[in-house]
Amino acid sequence: MGNSWITRAETSADIPAIRSVVAAAFDTPAEADLVDALRADTAWIAGLSVVTTDQAGKIVGHALLTRCHIGDTRALCLAPVAVLPEHQKTGAGSAAIRAALDVATDRGERFVTALGHPAYYPRFGFTRASTYGIGIGIDVPDEAMMALALDAGHPLPSGMVRYAAPFGI
């Protein structure tokens, strides 16, 4: 089934479906509210909110990249990533993440951070951020804060990650 997923940038018509997917994927509406708040924030970058659809066009997954900084260096934050529960573990989330990272790379972005499950994100090239002197201002397990250099010619910078205001970090 993983090969049948279609990915594309969100459109304004997708907003209600994205909210439904994100709300269904998490225990509380906080992440869905976060996506809505980020959409209205200066950290939002058109084209870096990616949906995964099935062959009929139904949105089943979503991955979002927004602007953050590592120290004073521009970077992106991958969060949240959501898939409808009935489509989890089918490749729908991976498809959205890979598509979002591809668009970011094509646009010349260099660095991405992710705060998430340490067994999931390394498949996309993410590694432990602390290895590069990258930190975060909240208490999280060290292995959960990860970073990725999209361009091998530009190694990850060190510094504290500064997220967009809606994250509250």
- pLDDT (tens digit per residue) in 88-105: 999 999 999 999 999 999
Nearest to 59, CA basis, from 35, 87, 100:
87
Quickly count: other Cβ atoms within 10 Å of residue 27's Cβ. 7
The pTM score is 0.96
- Is the pLDDT reported for residue 122 higher than 80? yes
Determine the pLDDT at residue 4. Answer: 86
- % of the chain beyond a pLDDT of 90: 96
**For residues 159 and 96, what is the distance between their CA atoms, to the nearest angstrom?**
28
- What residues are paired with 76 via a beta bridge? 67, 112
- Closest Cα to residue 18, out of 54, 56, 77, 64? 64
